[in-house]
Every structure is written in structure tokens, then in C-alpha cells.
Homo-oligomer: A and B are copies of this chain.
Amino acid sequence: MPSTDRIRDHAGQGATTVAARARRRLRADQARQLADLLRHQILSGGFDSGTLPHESVLATDYRASRNTVRQALDLLRAEGLVARHPGVGTVVVGQKYPHGLDRLMGLAETLHEHGTVTNEVRTMGPAPAPHPVAQRLKVAPGTDVLYIERLRRLNGLPLSLDLTYIPLDIGTALLGADLENTDVFRLLETITGQGLGHAEITLEAVNADAHSAAVLEAPRGAAVLMLERLTHLADGRPVDLEFIRFRGDRITMSGQLRRSL
């Protein structure tokens, strides 16, 4: 029941044009609606075989027209989730991996069921803390902190680009550590001899700039899930400020929220 009544007949425009516009809008709305349902099925492994049912089956199952089904599949193809293979049909190509949002976890930790995380350390070394970094890590502005830049891969595929700031008294011990194969979280717990406590996080969706896109091997302008995270040790001390760009087509973040705290 679309609100086609919102589409008015303007002077100089025939009723046919208006009706055509209303039909296009209705189909686009229905295609989005169907695409969202199919996306959920794809991400939750609802198409075990890796192949989606034929368009006519989807049309029946979802009570949609063939045109709407085609348009919905076009949307998912544009997102890189499915591809059309001649003679085979529509197949699932883009796997997204679920990053837990309920507990503070490192990448290798949260994705351990899905494969091996490796880290390419692009930059690492002490650098004077800019004012906002110093403030958040509670060190004096201009004090050296350890700066690390890592490209993180799951089973070889680029997943995220992480920029990390760590106070130097703790950071120094990281310089000789196996950062290629170990989460910083785990190393921080080993170095400090205490668990991590909590983290303040902020999530955003941004379009990748050309350089970040190139590093992540994603198209320019690709949607990126950006996570800013300030992690504290169990004793409350802030130890790890990160700016993480996840490839939007490879990561989802899932968790549970409660109405009352």
C-alpha cells in the first residue's frame, strides 16, 4: 500500500507520466524491501548451496513481480554480495564476517571460527602524541607514543586498516612482539599482566578515500565501517586508541541491546 497519493499531477505533465513515475517508485521501494530480506538470508547462511533460487521461485516465495525480483538482485549485485553466472543463476560471492559487539574482542579472537587473521605492519614507531591523542591516553601532549599502522587480513583478504596509538611505556614491549600474527589486545594483556577492562566505541559509515580504498583493495568510495575505540586496562588506565576502517562488504557487527540497563 504505497502512498502514491503523494505524487501530484503537475501542469504540463500527463497523468500517464505521473502513473509511470508512481509505478517506478513503487517497484524501487519493493525491490529495496526484498533486497533487505534476501541480504539477511545471505548473511545468515540461508542459502546453504551458495546459489539463490530461480527468479520465478523468489517471485512466488516473496509474492513479488519478476521485475521486482530482478531489481532486488541488481541491488545485491551492486553491493558485491551476489553475482550472476550464466547457466548457473545467482550465486553468493561476498561473505561478510560477524564481529561481536557484545564483548570487547580483538579481530583474530572474534573471527577465530572463520579463519586466520594476519597483520601487515605498514608503519610502527614512536611519535609525539598530538593533543587529542595525549588527552585521551592521559599522557602529556608531545610525549612520544607508539604509533602502529596495520593492514589486517582474514585468510589473505584485506579486512581492515587500523591506526593505533599506545603509551610508550607499554608500547616499547610491543616493538619486538609478533604483531603479524597476534592481536594487540592479547599482547597488551601479556605485557601489563592484567586483563583489559572496557572500551568506548564510536561507529560510523564513511566512503573510503582513494588512498584508503587502494590499501584495502576496495573500489574508491566504497562504504567503510569506521570504528574509533579507546580501550582501558582493567585498572581503568587508557592504553590503546584505535581508528579502524573495516571494509563494509566484509564485516558486520552484531550484538544485543537491552531496553533497561
Contacts and interface: CB of A to CB of B under 8 A. Distances in A.
B234 A206 contact: no
A91 to B, nearest CB: 19
Contacts of A1: 123-125, 127
Interface string A237-261: 0000001001011011111111111
A103 B223 contact: no
Contacts of A178: none
A202 B257 CA distance: 11
Contacts of A204: 96, 225, 248, 251-253
Interface string A103-131: 11000000000000000011111011011
A259 B63 contact: no
Contact of A261 (B103, B123, B127): B103
A209 interface: yes
26 contacts: A2-B122, A2-B123, A3-B124, A29-B123, A29-B211, A36-B228, A37-B132, A41-B132, A46-B132, A62-B130, A78-B209, A79-B206, A103-B260, A197-B258, A200-B255, A200-B256, A201-B254, A202-B253, A202-B254, A203-B203, A203-B225, A204-B251, A205-B206, A206-B223, A207-B221, A223-B248
Interface of A: 1-3, 6, 25, 28-29, 31-34, 36-37, 40-41, 43, 46, 61-63, 75, 78-79, 96, 98, 101-104, 121-125, 127-128, 130-133, 147, 149, 163, 195-207, 209, 211-212, 221-226, 228, 234, 243, 246, 248-249, 251-261
Q: 7 nearest interchain CB pairs?
A: A1-B125, A205-B248, A205-B205, A28-B211, A205-B225, A104-B257, A205-B223
